[in-house]
Structure 1
Amino acid sequence: MMRNRPPRFGLGVQSKNGPHGTDPFFEDLLAGMEEALDLAGASVFLRQFTSYGEELEAYPRWAESGDVDAVVIADSQEDDSRAQLCLELGLPVVILGGPPVDGASLVDVDNSGGMEMAVTYLSDLGHKVIGRVSGPEHLHHTKSRSVAFDQALERRGVTGLSIEGDYSAASGDLRTREILSLPTPPTAVIYDNSMMAVAGLGAAKDLGRKIPRDVSLLAWDDGPGCRLASPPLSVLSLDVHELGRTVADVLMETYSGAVQTVVHVPTGRIVQRSSTAEPDGAGSGQSADPAHGRRT
């Protein structure tokens, strides 16, 4: 129901880096949303939760107070009841990243295509063993990336392994130490978010690895941490700020009554920096043309 006051929307996230740390992805997403919503005379707030249960408990309060007009559901997971609960409470819903839920709008992100691009890019550089530090396997987008990772390895005729992290910097550090200490460690590692990648870079250095001579590192999503790292991290970059603007537009449409609006976001692109190169230090240390790993 539309109200006389300006619309106000809520975005709930479960903290991945402690109570005072926000994932750079959501910081950039929120900035894009705020930019677009400000032009529409609307606003959005981000609320961090310590658990899925705490987030579930918040939605009835939001609905009862009347202070929230629609919500964004992110990081969908197995048996996720958040979207259905909000719809039953009368809160319009926009799901970021899928899967679709009847009655809710959707901003769909191409996680499968992005992972295929990442594996193709590294295999084109000549890497035959590719590691991955994934997000939590109960998340929908992690599952999509995991399936795509395995399929891309098979198509490219290379081997690889995934080890599960939780998107925090601490898990990026720990899992990197584990994966690089294997009897046959990978010569390249993909990280499912930038926080784990930046921490993984530090861990690799602590283990005495030279980047990219000994191991190439590729982060999913860009951010200041990736650009300021030494060496700067190559990334699979999605324009998260623009994604935020898209989410805001769909929020306004959904709030205005256009429920079940569906928008498909284009696949990201490889941005080459100094953390990826041919294995074993071959060549000049510069990565191959990222267009080789780009899917259109």
Structure 2
Amino acid sequence: MTQAPRRVGLVLARASQVLGEEPYYHEFLEGLERVLTPSGVSVLVQVVTDREAETATYERWAEQSRVDGVILVDLGPDDERVGLVARLGLPAVVIGDPSTAQGLPTVWTDDAGFAREAVGFLAGLGHRVIGHVTGPPAFAHTQLRRGGLEAEAAERGMTALVAEGDYSYEGGRTAALDLLKRSPDRPTAIVFDNDLMALGGLTAAGECGLRIPADVSMVAWDDSPQCQLAVPALSAMSHDVEQIGELAAQALLAAMAGAPAAVYQAPPAHIVARDSTRPLH
């Protein structure tokens, strides 16, 4: 008897334009499919505008038996989606911190620890006032990165300035302008929560008449090919995003087979220094 085709679902509550430009999920899906396709499992991606639409998607998928499992991303503290998929009987894997997963299998990246590493890198270059362009503040990983960055800066006697972004190029540009126009203590270095916002930051610096890295250093997050192609090339907190996708696929296959929940540790991130950072003289 031929086995019925299996499918897993991924709902992304983001603006479609941002997803079209943002390399993270393209790389994530590559890793996901690398593991799932040989197992005869396809991926269904649904882009929605808000959490209400995301909830409706899970309910429809469960009612129609459209998917055999789901991947949850961009969770916040006490996220209602965890309980929802449990009630719907959908095997699920969380991409994020185990504290958000409420017992579900989790692929964990140490956002707070990696943010601390970024601060340490910039401190080693002599920077004392740093900016942080964050993602949406409701996301747990945004809160963890901001907490880690601010804690490390405080321990080192540094000043940390924050501006909120939305993962888009324009959001990064606007947030960077906010930081770079602050006086008298504008940051001499800025960390961005994704690569696309860092590209917006490069534009913002030019609009302010600032040179990179002579006047301000910039560090991206994820290290997609966009970082290497940027002018100047962007230093980045480099993650193996495709490997994260592979781990998510392995975790979801295990969950669909009824395996106990586990935490899957993503590969450590590390700083890759390029032309957008330099020692502060």
TM-score range, shorter chain: over 0.9
CA-CA distance at 1:7 after TM superposition: 2.1
Change over 3 Å in CA distance of 1:158–1:165 after alignment to 2: same
Q: CA deviation at 1:4?
A: 3.2
User: What amino acid sits opposite 1:15 in the alignment?
Assistant: R
Which residues in structure 2 correspond to 1:133-212 (within 5 Å)? 133-183=133-183, 184-212=185-213
Say whether residues 1:247 and 2:248 are aligned partners: yes
The 8 Å contact of residues 129 and 160 in structure 2, kept in 1 or not, is answered as yes
Per-residue deviation at 1:157? Answer: 1.9
Q: Residue 25 of structure 1 aligns with which residue?
A: 24
Q: Is the contact between residue 194 and residue 219 of structure 1 (CA under 8 Å) also seen in structure 2? A: yes
Give the distance between the partners of 1:31 and 1:224, measured in 2 at CA. Answer: 14
Asked if residue 61 in structure 1 is aligned to residue 34 in structure 2, the reply is no
Conserved 8 A contact 1:92-1:259? no
| TM-score (structure 1 length as normaliser) | 0.90
Residue 256 of structure 1 corresponds to which residue in structure 2? 257
Instruction: Describe the shift of the 1:100–1:185 C-alpha distance in structure 2 as closer, same or farther (beyond 3 A).
Output: closer
Deviation at 1:259, TM superposition (A): 3.8
Deviates more, 1:155-164 or 1:215-224: 155-164
Structure 1's consecutive aligned runs of 4 or more residues displaced over 6 angstroms after TM superposition are none
1:160 maps to a residue whose letter is A
Contact 1:17–1:168 (Cα < 8 Å) also in 2? no
Within 1, Cα distance between the matches of 2:243 and 2:104?
Answer: 21
The match for 2:124 is 124
SS at match of 1:182: coil
SS at structure 1 position matched to 2:276: coil
Q: Is residue 108–residue 265 contact of structure 1 (8 Å, CA) maintained in 2?
A: yes
**Matched residue type, 2:151:** Q
State the shift of 1:6 in Å.
Answer: 3.0
Report what 1:218 is aligned to: 219
Which residue does 1:288 correspond to in 2?
none
Query: In 1, are the aligned partners of 2:135 and 2:142 still within 8 Å (CA)?
Result: yes
After superposition, give the CA deviation of every residue in 1:10-29 in whole Å (9 maximum; x if it has no partner).
11111146377253111110
Identify the range of structure 1 (44-53 vs 116-125) with the bigger mean alpha-carbon deviation.
Answer: 44-53
Q: Note if contact 1:131-1:161 (Cα within 8 Å) is conserved in structure 2.
A: yes
Aligned to 1:92: 91
1:233 aligns with 234
Contact 1:192 1:219 in 2 (8 A): yes
Q: Which residue of 2 aligns with 1:71?
A: 70
CA contact (8 A) 2:240 2:267 kept: no
Q: How far has the Cα of 1:170 moved from its partner?
A: 1.4
Conservation of the 8 A alpha-carbon contact between 1:62 and 1:68: yes
Amino acid of the residue matched to residue 202 of structure 1? T
Letter in 1 for 2:80: S
* Deviation of the 1:178 alpha carbon: 0.9
User: How far, CA to CA, are the matches of 2:96 and 2:262 in structure 1?
Assistant: 13
Q: Tell me what 1:112 maps to.
A: 112
Distance (whole Å) between structure 2 residues aligned to residue 214 and residue 17 of structure 1: 34
TM-score by length of 2: 0.94
In structure 1, give the amino acid aligned to 2:214. Answer: R
Distance 1:38 1:252 in 2: 11
Q: Distance in 2 between matches of 1:93 and 1:182?
A: 44
Tell me the SS of whatever aligns to 2:17: coil
Q: Which residue is 1:292 aligned to?
A: none
Q: Give the stretch that moved more between structures: 9-18 or 23-32.
A: 9-18
In structure 1, stretches of 5+ residues that fail to align are: 283-296
Deviations 1:54-113 (A, max 9, x none): 111110111111120000000002442112111111101100003343452111110011
Match of 2:89, SS state, is coil
Letter in 1 for 2:88: L
- Deviations, residues 23-69 of structure 1 (Å, cap 9, x unaligned): 31111101110111112221212221111111111101111111200
Say if 1:101 and 1:242 are closer, same or farther in 2 by CA, change over 3 A.
closer
Instruction: Give, in whole Å, the separation in 2 of the partners of 1:22 and 1:45.
Output: 19
Specify the SS of the correspondent of 1:273.
coil
Q: CA 1:109 to 1:16, structure 2 compared with 1: closer, same or farther past 3 Å?
A: farther
CA RMSD for the aligned pairs?
A: 1.6
